[in-house]
């Protein structure tokens, strides 16, 4: 017993000696390291341990007699040598992974490595390790389960594939059998027959919503959906997000673009716009946003812009969310690509709860881009590629989409033949995948030059010649009609309105409509006579009032002289606000130019003064305005035409 204790004592003493020796050696090495920093080549990645238990890792920029300069993700730090306790060569998670992977010879070892990589938030490395474990042992349950797979009839499948093998399909927030789906669809069709459009009471319930505290999230294969509108609305958005993910995944396959995380993404949808603004602090021009640090999307239930809705906002911001899954650092990518891709999948998709069709033309973005080309405010490619993210406003979104659409779908729309655009985009995506691994922000000049080189290389044209042809192609793309005319009548299901032009008058072409004007007709002859209807999103979900109407009038006219006060009353059975302007100017043209930093400067061109009457209406989700204009000397003779126009006006309120 005494011998055993003695041996144990000696062993413990030996351990202490070894540890003490290691500590002394560490101190000696630290001193030696501090002295040998000057021997390291510039560009070497190191980690320094500073006084006060601080650590900093980065790239060595300069070593002088007294200081060390280190470039890190927040800038360049200049450190005094005296404050550096020790340093070591910095090894990335990927470097450590490769080192450990060299010693993995069993499925268990690979799985352990995968767990380590997962804990380090390196989802792609973790997935690689788990797949290596499966390669060694095809039935290794721990690895399959780590990849989110389940065993069905002796075969390991993803959860979605397992459900589909059982004959189920994802519908309304749940996996259901075809019989269950058919029964639900029949119920929906019957409801649609009795009420084609949602009534005001139903919409009011949706916009009133439920208390957040009493609401449970809906969990799908890839998302947690938090929506405090009605449960039916929440389930619909859950289906929309899964349908969108399927499209994202079909273009950016996991094989070529591994996910940075396997955790489910979060979607938050407020019951109405006002609640969204109150909770987030955003103004009325924001439909939703994505936060890279938290990987969550926040939006609201309702309409956005003239024709947009929550679905398009979710598709746009959901694209950013997916970009965060496949690109390590989105700040390392240029803004035109990040936002252009979001428009391509967002505005440029037709979305229903269980189906998403991509490669569609976003109507409002195309109108804006075509208008920019025609009025001279178009942003040339060389400048577009170099606009930094903070300055990349909504005006440029359509520009970014246009370039991507030309590459991804131009061959179907007559832009090019063969594989020109596809080759440009393939090379660009491979490049983006690589540069997104870089720390810090994008080198705009370098990346702009690279994309310009791709265009020149694959099209065999100069940038100037390519852009000239590109602009002609954009101008030739068809604009989706927001409504349709049948004889004297014009109707729009999207805008929930119907109107009839005066007898003998002609509908005005969509390309000649003013901003926010959705339909207009003009009388024959040399004298100006025009009736038209404007439409906006009623993001406030409020009834029309005097203040609201006066603010909206500024969207139509540059200069207004009110002949009489606004009056509240009833016009053709609708509550309305109306006023007459003895002299007002319609904005005919708005030219916007941009400096090198993307800052806008807008010059407005207004028409001649005319006499106008305006009538404003409000529904639960839309705001409308009917306008009559003509020269003052024929006002009395022509006013009856406007009265007929008002009588024919119908909205779903």
Which of 606, 601, 603, 610 minimizes the C-alpha distance to 588?
Answer: 606
What is the pLDDT, as a whole number, of residue 33?
Answer: 43
CA angle, corner 569, sides to 566 and 570, nearest 5? Answer: 135
Predicted confidence band at 19 (pLDDT cuts at 50, 70, 90)? very low
Q: Using CB atoms within 10 A of its CB, is residue 497 exposed (0-12), middle (13-18) or buried (19+)? A: buried
All residues at 6 or more sequence positions from 326 whose CB lies less than 8 Å from its CB, including other chains: 252, 257, 258, 259, 260, 433
Which of 67, 47, 49 minimizes the C-alpha distance to 57?
Answer: 47
Predicted confidence band at 108 (pLDDT cuts at 50, 70, 90)? very high
- CA 70 to CA 78: how far, in whole Å? 6
Residue appearing with tokens 């973005």: 365
Largest Cα span, the chain: 123
* Other beta carbons within 10 Å of 477: 15
Structure tokens at 448: 């702009």
- CA 28 to CA 278: how far, in whole Å? 59
* Other beta carbons within 10 Å of 338: 20
What is the pLDDT, as a whole number, of residue 621?
Answer: 80
Work out the average pLDDT over 436-464: 93
Question: If you count DSSP H runs as helices and E runs as strands, how many of each does the chain have, helices first?
Answer: 20, 31
Structure tokens at 534: 């404007």
Of 134-138, 337-341, 429-433, 514-518, least confident by mean pLDDT is 514-518
Residue appearing with tokens 């993307």: 598
CA angle, corner 508, sides to 502 and 513, nearest 5? Answer: 125
- CA 476 to CA 298: how far, in whole Å? 36
479: phi then psi, degrees, rounded to nearest 5: -95, 125
Q: Using CB atoms within 10 A of its CB, is residue 4 exposed (0-12), middle (13-18) or buried (19+)? A: exposed
User: Over the stretch 4-17, which tens digit does the pLDDT of each residue have?
Assistant: 333 333 333 333 33
Residue 191, pLDDT > 60, answer: no
Work out the average pLDDT over 500-508: 91
* Other beta carbons within 10 Å of 190: 9
Of 439-443, 541-545, 569-573, least confident by mean pLDDT is 541-545
Higher local confidence (pLDDT), 354 or 219: 219
User: Over the stretch 263-304, which tens digit does the pLDDT of each residue have?
Assistant: 899 999 999 988 999 999 988 778 899 998 888 999 999 887
Strand locations in 81-191 (E)? 84-89, 149-152, 155-158, 169-171, 174-176
DSSP 8-state symbol, 214: G
- CA 241 to CA 247: how far, in whole Å? 10
Residue 122, pLDDT > 90, answer: no
CA angle, corner 511, sides to 508 and 517, nearest 5? Answer: 70
Residue 413, pLDDT > 50, answer: yes
CB 482 within 8 A of CB 495: yes
What is the pLDDT, as a whole number, of residue 200?
Answer: 66
Share the mean pLDDT of the chain. Answer: 83
Work out the average pLDDT over 516-535: 87
What is the pLDDT, as a whole number, of residue 26?
Answer: 34
Residue appearing with tokens 């906006």: 536
User: Over the stretch 234-245, which tens digit does the pLDDT of each residue have?
Assistant: 999 999 999 999
DSSP structure string for 589-619:
EEEEEE-TT--EEEEEEE---EEEEEEEEE-
C-alpha distances out from residue 149 to 122, 160, 196, 525, 641, Å = 19, 9, 42, 72, 68
Work out the average pLDDT over 468-477: 94
Element (H, E) at 507: strand 506-507
The helix/strand/coil state of 634 is helix
Which of 325, 202, 215, 307 minimizes the C-alpha distance to 269?
Answer: 215
CB 253 within 8 A of CB 322: no
User: Over the stretch 568-591, which tens digit does the pLDDT of each residue have?
Assistant: 888 988 889 999 888 887 776 666
What is the pLDDT, as a whole number, of residue 338?
Answer: 94
Query: Can you list the alpha helix ranges (DSSP code H) found in 195-272?
Result: 200-208, 231-251
What is the pLDDT, as a whole number, of residue 566?
Answer: 85
CB 353 within 8 A of CB 423: no
User: Over the stretch 553-567, which tens digit does the pLDDT of each residue have?
Assistant: 877 877 767 666 788
Of 34-38, 161-165, 365-369, 564-568, least confident by mean pLDDT is 34-38
User: Over the stretch 369-403, which tens digit does the pLDDT of each residue have?
Assistant: 998 898 788 999 999 999 998 888 888 999 999 99
Q: How many residues does the chain have?
A: 653
Residue 176, pLDDT > 50, answer: yes
C-alpha distances out from residue 476 to 142, 413, 519, 578, Å = 56, 10, 22, 39
- CA 84 to CA 54: how far, in whole Å? 10
Residue appearing with tokens 């309105």: 497
DSSP structure string for 395-425:
GGHHHHHHHHHHHHHGGGGTS-STTHHHHHH
What is the pLDDT, as a whole number, of residue 606?
Answer: 75
- CA 424 to CA 492: how far, in whole Å? 39
All residues at 6 or more sequence positions from 135 whose CB lies less than 8 Å from its CB, including other chains: none
Structure tokens at 61: 């920029």
Work out the average pLDDT over 330-337: 93
Residue 18, pLDDT > 50, answer: no
CB 495 within 8 A of CB 535: yes
Predicted confidence band at 78 (pLDDT cuts at 50, 70, 90)? confident
């Amino acid at each position: 017993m005494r011998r055993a204790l003695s041996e144990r004592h000696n062993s413990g003493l030996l351990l202490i000696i070894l540890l003490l020796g290691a500590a002394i050696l560490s101190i000696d090495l630290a001193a030696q390291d501090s002295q040998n920093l000057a021997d390291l080549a510039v560009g070497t990645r190191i980690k320094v341990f500073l006084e006060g238990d601080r650590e900093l890792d980065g790239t060595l920029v300069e070593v002088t007699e007294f200081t060390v300069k280190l470039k890190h993700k927040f800038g360049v730090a200049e450190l005094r040598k005296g404050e550096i306790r020790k340093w070591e060569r910095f090894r990335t998670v990927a470097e450590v992974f490769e080192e450990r992977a060299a010693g993995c010879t069993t499925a268990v070892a690979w799985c352990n490595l995968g767990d380590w990589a997962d804990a380090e938030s390196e989802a792609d490395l973790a997935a690689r390790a788990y797949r290596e474990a499966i390669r060694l042992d095809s039935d290794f349950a721990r690895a399959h389960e780590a990849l989110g797979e389940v065993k069905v009839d002796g075969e390991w499948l993803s959860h979605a594939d397992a459900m589909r093998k059982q004959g189920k399909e994802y519908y309304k927030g749940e996996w259901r059998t075809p019989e269950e789906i058919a029964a639900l669809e029949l119920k929906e069709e019957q409801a649609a027959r009795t009420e084609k459009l949602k009534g005001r009471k139903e919409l009011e319930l949706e916009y009133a919503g439920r208390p957040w505290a009493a609401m449970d999230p809906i969990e799908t294969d890839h998302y947690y959906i938090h929506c405090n509108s009605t449960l039916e609305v929440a389930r619909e958005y859950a289906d929309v997000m899964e349908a969108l993910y399927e499209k994202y995944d079909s273009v950016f396959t996991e094989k070529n673009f591994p996910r940075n995380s396997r955790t489910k993404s979060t979607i938050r949808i407020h019951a109405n716009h006002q609640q969204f603004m109150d909770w987030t602090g955003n103004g009325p021009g924001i439909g939703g946003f994505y936060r890279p640090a938290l990987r969550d999307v926040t939006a609201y239930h309702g309409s956005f812009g003239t024709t947009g809705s929550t679905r398009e906002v979710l598709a746009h911001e959901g694209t950013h969310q997916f970009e965060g899954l496949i690109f390590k650092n989105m700040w390392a990518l240029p803004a035109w690509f990040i936002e252009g891709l979001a428009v391509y999948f967002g505005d440029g998709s037709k979305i229903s709860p269980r189906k998403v069709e991509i490669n569609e033309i976003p109507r409002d973005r195309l109108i804006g881009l075509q208008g920019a080309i025609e009025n001279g405010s178009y942003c040339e490619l060389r400048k577009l590629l170099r606009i930094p993210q903070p300055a990349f406003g909504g005006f440029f979104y359509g520009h970014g989409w246009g370039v991507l659409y030309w590459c991804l779908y131009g061959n179907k729309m007559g832009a090019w033949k063969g594989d020109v655009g596809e080759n440009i985009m393939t090379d660009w995506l491979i490049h983006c995948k690589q540069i997104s691994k870089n720390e810090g922000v994008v080198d705009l000049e370098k990346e702009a030059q690279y994309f310009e080189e791709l265009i020149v290389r694959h099209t065999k044209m100069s940038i100037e010649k390519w852009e000239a042809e590109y602009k002609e192609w954009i101008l030739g793309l068809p604009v989706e009609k927001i409504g349709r005319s049948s004889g004297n009548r014009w109707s729009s299901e999207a805008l929930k309105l119907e109107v009839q032009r005066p007898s003998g008058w002609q509908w005005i072409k969509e390309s000649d409509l003013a901003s926010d004007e959705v339909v207009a007709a003009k009388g024959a002859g040399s004298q100006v006579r025009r009736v038209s209807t404007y439409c906006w999103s009623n993001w406030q979900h409020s009834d029309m009032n005097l203040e609201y109407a006066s603010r909206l009038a500024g969207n139509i006219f540059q200069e207004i002289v009110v002949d009489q006060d606004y009056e509240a009353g009833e016009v053709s059975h609708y509550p309305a606000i109306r006023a007459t302007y003895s002299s007002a100017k319609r904005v005919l043209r708005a030219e916007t130019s941009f400096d090198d930093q993307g800052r806008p400067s807008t010059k407005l061109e207004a028409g001649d003064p005319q006499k106008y009457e305006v009538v404003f209406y409000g529904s639960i989700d839309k705001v409308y305005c009917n306008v009559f204009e003509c020269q003052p000397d024929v006002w009395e003779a022509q006013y009856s035409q406007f009265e007929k126009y008002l009588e024919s006006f119908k909205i779903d309120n």
